[in-house]
Structure 1
Amino acid sequence: MSIKNIISLGLLVFIPISIAAHFLEWGTLTVFITSALAIVPLAIWLSTATEEVAVVAGASIGALLNAVFGNATELIITLVALKEGLVDIVKASITGSIISNLLLVMGLSMFLGGLRYKEQDFQQIVARVNGSSMTLAVIAIILPTMVIYTSNGVEPEAIRNLSTTAALVLLVVYVLTLVFSLKTHSYLYDVGLVDLDEATAKATSAESTTHQPNLWLWIGVLAASTIAIAYESELFVGVVEEATEGLGLTPLFTGVILVPLIGGAAEYFTAIRLAIKNNMDLSVSVAMGSSLLVALLMAPLLVLVGQAIGQPMDLDFNPFEVVAVAISVVVANLISLDGRSNWLEGALLLATYTILGLAFYFHPV
């Protein structure tokens, strides 16, 4: 049994524990920790179910499912937080997800993969296409903040209108990226898939002719995982302010560091597993693709939903968040420019993430 399966099964015990902690009033910190730990295996099962359904549904529909459900856990957590009015945490989680995918996920993948292989290659076209899209998407997100902070004064209504318009543009761009990656230029995203398929075929040749994923079973797992994540997110969000305040953590640090670590667990396991299997093409694609999904789908959806439910969600970020995201994009693009990686480059990405994490921890409220 793989480490991923052991973790996804073992941590399920925290689901009943978190429910008991909530109803028996064991304290906000206990509910906070147990609900966070319960979300991690549910995120892994949600990701696994998406992959299994994709196998049966075929390449095109499967890719679309992965594009839509890739950051489902983080989206659910932030939607629940938005409903509760925790706008600062929601905003911070957007930038935190981008930072963690580009620095932490890529860093761990390159570091652990580099410990096993002296040097790992990946197609430069993968990094170039994802990197350029990521750069443009992040620019579109941070421009409203730049407008606000370079003006003498901007009315709140103007900020909301600017954010809503930018959100609609980003959603259109997201649809265009789907058309680009799934239809007109799908061949650019096929690199590395052949090697992975061959390795999988060799490992499962004895059972590949008889085993097919049970579509309805995995659809049930997908639905159950989504519902369970929504419930655990309610528990988590309900105590997050009080618990983190008791720990001396700011909403900025909670959103940028803690929420992405909890919600992005499945992507972390997937990217690291691929790197250890010497498939850096897909590992880099997972890391950059998740960041792209946050910038082009998750962020604009949260803006539009916030406007619809009466929560003033906009794209006016903390200036330091903007700087941190810009640094992350530049560093990730520079590291991946040559199409090669090693453990030292992974360590440098992890060091950058650690320093940024400390900066957010010590950043004043």
Structure 2
Amino acid sequence: MSIKKIISYVLLIFVPVSIAAEYLHWGTLTIFITSGIAIVPLAIWLSTATEEVAVVTGPSIGGLLNAVFGNATELIIALVALKAGLIDIVKASITGTIVSNLLLVMGLSMLLGGFRFKEQEFQPIVARVNGSSMTLAVTAIVLPTTVIYTSSGVGEGAIRNLSITVAIVMIAVYALTLLFSLGTHSYLYDVGVAELEGETPSDSEGKTVPHKPNLWLWVGVLVISTVAVAFESEIFVGVVEEATKGLGLTPLFTGVILLPLVGGAAEYVTAVSVAIKNNMDLSVTVAMGSSLLVALFVAPLLVLIGIAIGQPMDLNFNPFEVVAVAIAVAIANLISLDGRSNWLEGALLLATYIVLGAAFYFHPA
């Protein structure tokens, strides 16, 4: 049994534990820890169900499902936090997810994969396309913040309208990237729709049998996992401010470092496990694709939803968050440019993540 499956089974015990902690009032910190851990296996099951359904529906629809549900856990947590009015934490979680995917996930993948294989290769054109799109996303995040800090006074209405305009453009660009990756240039992304772990089944003659998941079973798992993640997210977000304040953590650190670790566990496990199997194509696609989804779709979608539900959120990020995202994108682009990776490059990405994490921890904001 794979490590991913073991984690998904063992940690499920925290789902009833966290519910008991919530309704029996076991304390804020206990609720925070147990619900945070409970989200991890649910995120893995949600991710696995998406992959299995994608196998049945085929590359095009499967790729679209992965694009939509790839970061469903992060989106659900962000929506619950946005509904609760924790806008600063939501913004921080957006930048944190981008930074953690580009530095932590790619770093761990290249490091552990590099220990097993001297040098690993992946398609540089995919990394370049994702890098170019990420550069646009950084530009879109930087501009609203720059407008505010380079002017004598900008009204809230102007910032809101600018954020809406940028959000619409970013969603349109993400739609174009989907058209590129799933339609006109799908052959560049032929790295496997799903990572099916374990032994391939074989018939009585020893021939391999194609993996055929039960569609309705996995659709049911997908629905149940999504509802369960939403439920646990309500519990988690309900105590996140009080718990992290008691631990001496700022909302900035909580959003940038802690929330991405909780919400992105499934992507982390997948990217690292396939890298160890020498499939850096899929590993890089998972890491960079997840960052792209958050930057070009999740962030602008939250802007539009926030306005609709009366919790207006703009794209005016903390300047240090903007700097961190710019650093992460620049370093990830430089390292992935040649289509090769080794353990040292992974160590460099991890070192950058640790330094940024320390900076966010000591940041007074």
Equivalent position of 2:238 in the other structure: 238
Aligned-pair distance for 1:203? 4.2
Aligned-pair distance for 1:201? 11
- What is the letter of the counterpart of residue 247 of structure 2? L
- What is the letter of the counterpart of residue 200 of structure 2? T
Give the one of 202, 207, 217 matched to 1:206: 202
Q: What does 1:307-318 align with in structure 2 at a 5 Å threshold?
A: 307-318=307-318
Aligned-pair distance for 1:174? 1.2
Equivalent position of 1:333 in the other structure: 333
User: Quick one: distance in 2 between partners of 1:300 and 1:312?
Assistant: 12
Aligned-pair distance for 1:2? 0.7
Deviations 1:46-67 (A, max 9, x none): 0000000001111110000000
What value does the CA root-mean-square deviation take over the aligned residues? Answer: 1.6
User: Quick one: distance in 1 between partners of 2:199 and 2:124?
Assistant: 28
Equivalent position of 1:356 in the other structure: 356
Equivalent position of 1:173 in the other structure: 173
Deviations 1:230-272 (A, max 9, x none): 0000000000000000000000000000010000001101110
Q: Is the 8 A contact 2:271 2:282 kept in 1?
A: yes
CA gap of 1:96–1:211, structure 2 versus 1, over 3 A, is: closer
Q: What does 1:17-166 align with in structure 2 at a 5 Å threshold?
A: 17-166=17-166
Equivalent position of 2:347 in the other structure: 347
Once structures 1 and 2 are overlaid, which stretch shifts more, 352-361 or 207-216?
207-216
Deviations 1:275-296 (A, max 9, x none): 0010111111111000000011
- What is the letter of the counterpart of residue 62 of structure 1? G
Equivalent position of 1:217 in the other structure: 217
User: Quick one: distance in 2 between partners of 1:250 and 1:21?
Assistant: 24
Once structures 1 and 2 are overlaid, which stretch shifts more, 144-153 or 97-106?
144-153
User: Quick one: distance in 2 between partners of 1:187 and 1:4?
Assistant: 28
**Superposed structure 1 runs of 4+ greater than 6 Å apart:** none
Aligned-pair distance for 1:93? 0.5
User: Quick one: distance in 2 between partners of 1:49 and 1:211?
Assistant: 14
- SS of the residue 2:43 aligns to: helix
- SS of the residue 1:18 aligns to: helix
- SS of the residue 2:187 aligns to: helix
Aligned-pair distance for 1:40? 0.1
Aligned-pair distance for 1:343? 0.7
Structure 2: runs of 5 or more not aligned: none
How many residue pairs get aligned? The number is: 361
CA gap of 1:259–1:159, structure 2 versus 1, over 3 A, is: same
User: Quick one: distance in 2 between partners of 1:53 and 1:205?
Assistant: 18
Deviations 1:20-78 (A, max 9, x none): 00000000000000000000000000000000000111111000000000100000000
Aligned-pair distance for 1:331? 0.4
- SS of the residue 1:31 aligns to: helix
User: Quick one: distance in 2 between partners of 1:118 and 1:211?
Assistant: 31
Deviations 1:80-104 (A, max 9, x none): 0000000000000010010000000
Equivalent position of 1:263 in the other structure: 263
- What is the letter of the counterpart of residue 269 of structure 1? V
Q: Is the 8 A contact 2:200 2:211 kept in 1?
A: no
CA gap of 1:331–1:58, structure 2 versus 1, over 3 A, is: same
Q: Is the 8 A contact 2:35 2:235 kept in 1?
A: yes
- What is the letter of the counterpart of residue 167 of structure 1? A
Aligned-pair distance for 1:169? 0.9
TM-score by length of 1: 0.96
CA gap of 1:10–1:158, structure 2 versus 1, over 3 A, is: same
Q: Does 1:250 align with 2:250?
A: yes
